[in-house]
């Protein structure tokens, strides 16, 4: 079933490769835009640093992080993807000289910091290297190996807090969803870039971990369950969706930024008669609906930890759909949803989400089995969630054959059959 998840995710990975925590860590600027100089992957690759072929014993870290990244991490080939025939074709359609020199491509396929922030060993073709995620090492390269230096000092020196799940989600989403500064826009997708999808926990599991959650790690850093990481990922994805609606919705003149909408609302055969009303909007047939898949999962989460907030989120989302469709001011709707997301976020901090895994799985399945996830993007998020939750409850092997069948309903997004998906989900619910 891992292969099924990879098949769902691989398209986006190949091409892309609010109130949070009340701490300075969560407010850290994304590494690409921070002021510290990026010294280059070679500065981390020494055998005495992070380039050991074998796992080191008796040290705080394994010291083989560079080897894991260089051999097994898909972020390593993010830049190389820009040299493929398909990327060259996309560049030509966009009127670019080439993809591997275009800022709109490099911003997510490489550590594309300003020229004056590139050290002597910096190489753009390293792709998404160490400092693209961990921040420019100019100031922390010496501090982070000093046992007398505190973690707070290292973070102050520019190390990005990737252990903080909120900060990690915002970092990943900056490429795997987009920001005001960079995004796989409808222009880019129209030229051939695949649809972008993301789920924090699933994507993290499929990338080889280059850290070990041991006693030292647990003492200094955040270490939560997959359920917590998934939930926080959904919170941050919903927040980022709202940021993009605020910043990018009307950035294209007559038409809105269509990358913010459900691709399959338009991209289907004219003979396709599968349109169905949604309980998340009051829009009529022919309307182009926002991609609200992450809100759907957030509603499922809230339905377990705070049902009242779940109902309020659904009502506020319905109103936002209407405001966008009518061309009204969306600021009020965005602010209302932000407040509700923050309220759910605060509620999650006091909950034992691991103990709620079975209820959360049942909540997601109920949504799917009741026919409320007839759009592909919501169904996709639901299946990734159910897969993870069954793993946490140790029921994954019991439902292995059923999961295989579920993934088969998502094999081809262009020929997704909602009725088949619903039937499959009802088998679990039964």
Ranges of each domain in the chain: 2-223, 227-429
Of 73-82, 113-122, 286-295, the poorest mean pLDDT is in: 286-295
Is the Cβ–Cβ distance between 241 and 169 less than 8 Å? no
Distances (CA, A) of 214 to 132, 176, 211, 307: 25, 29, 9, 36
Number of separate helices (H) and strands (E) present in the chain: 19, 0
- Once rounded to an integer, what is the mean pLDDT over residues 383-403? 94
In the three-class reduction of DSSP (H, G, I as helix; E, B as strand; rest coil), residue 290 is classed as strand
Residue pair 209/12 in contact (Cβ under 8 Å)? The answer is no
Q: Does domain 2-223 bear CATH number 1.10.1130?
A: yes
Q: Are 122 and 23 in contact (CB under 8 A)?
A: no
Average of per-residue pLDDT across 124-148 = 95
pLDDT one-digit tens code per residue, 91-127: 999 999 999 999 999 999 999 999 999 999 999 999 9
Confidence (pLDDT) at 15: 43
* Tokens read off for 50: 């992070």
Mean pLDDT, residues 32-45:
96
- Tell me how many degrees the CA angle 373-379-383 measures, rounded to the nearest 5: 130
Tell me the sheet residues that pair with 261: 290
Sorting pLDDT into bands at 50, 70 and 90, what band is 43?
very high
Tokens coding 245: 């609606």
Q: Which residue in this structure is represented by tokens 């993007």?
A: 377
For the stretch 160-177, pLDDT in tens is: 999 999 999 999 999 999
Q: Which of 118-122, 125-129, 312-316, 394-398 has the lowest mean pLDDT?
A: 394-398
- The Cα–Cα gap between 358 and 394 comes to 10
Q: Is the Cα dihedral 414, 419, 423, 426 positive or negative?
A: positive
pLDDT tens per residue across span 236-258:
999 999 999 999 998 777 889 99
CB 152 within 8 A of CB 144: no
| pLDDT score recorded for residue 259 | 93
Mean pLDDT, the chain, as a whole number? 90
Kindly state the average pLDDT of the residues 319-337.
95
DSSP string, 368-382: HHTT---SHHHHHHH
Given pLDDT bands bounded at 50, 70 and 90, which one contains residue 5? low
Structure tokens at 260: 């913010």
């Amino acid at each position: 079933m891992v292969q099924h998840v990879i098949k769902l995710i691989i398209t986006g990975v190949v091409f892309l490769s609010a109130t949070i925590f009340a701490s300075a860590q969560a407010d850290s600027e994304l590494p690409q835009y921070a002021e510290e100089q990026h010294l280059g992957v070679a500065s981390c690759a020494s055998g005495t640093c992070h380039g050991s072929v074998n796992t080191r014993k008796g040290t705080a870290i394994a010291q083989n992080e560079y080897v894991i990244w260089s051999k097994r991490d898909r972020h390593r080939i993010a830049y190389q993807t820009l040299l493929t025939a398909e990327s060259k074709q996309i560049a030509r359609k966009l009127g670019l000289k080439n993809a591997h020199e275009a800022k709109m491509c490099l911003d997510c396929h490489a550590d594309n910091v300003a020229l004056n922030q590139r050290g002597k060993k910096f190489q753009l073709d390293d792709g998404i290297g160490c400092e693209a995620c961990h921040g420019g090492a100019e100031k922390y390269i010496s501090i982070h190996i000093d046992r007398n230096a505190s973690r707070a000092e290292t973070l102050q020196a520019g190390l990005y807090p990737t252990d903080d799940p909120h900060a990690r989600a915002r970092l990943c989403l900056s490429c795997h969803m987009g920001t005001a500064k960079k995004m796989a826009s409808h222009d880019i997708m129209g030229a051939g870039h695949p649809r972008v999808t993301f789920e924090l926990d699933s994507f993290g599991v499929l990338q080889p971990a280059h850290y070990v959650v041991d006693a030292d790690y647990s003492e200094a850093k955040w270490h939560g369950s997959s359920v917590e990481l998934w939930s926080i990922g959904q919170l941050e994805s919903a927040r980022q969706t709202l940021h993009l609606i605020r910043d990018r919705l009307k950035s294209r003149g007559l038409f809105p930024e269509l990358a913010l909408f459900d691709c399959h609302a338009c991209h289907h055969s004219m003979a396709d008669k599968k349109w169905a009303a949604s309980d998340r909007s009051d829009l009529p047939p022919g309307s182009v609906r926002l991609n609200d898949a992450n809100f759907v999962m957030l509603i499922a989460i809230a339905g377990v930890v705070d049902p009242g907030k779940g109902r309020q989120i659904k009502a506020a989302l319905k109103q936002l759909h209407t405001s966008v469709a009518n061309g009204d001011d969306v600021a009020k709707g965005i602010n209302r949803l932000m407040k509700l997301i923050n309220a759910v976020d605060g509620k999650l901090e006091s909950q034992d989400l691991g103990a709620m895994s079975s209820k959360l799985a049942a909540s997601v399945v109920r949504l799917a089995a009741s026919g409320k996830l007839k759009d592909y993007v919501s169904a996709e998020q639901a299946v990734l969630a159910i897969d993870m939750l069954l793993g946490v409850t140790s029921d994954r092997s019991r439902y292995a054959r059923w999961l295989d069948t579920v993934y088969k309903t998502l094999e081809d997004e262009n020929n997704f059959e909602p009725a088949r998906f619903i039937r499959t989900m009802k088998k679990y619910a039964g």
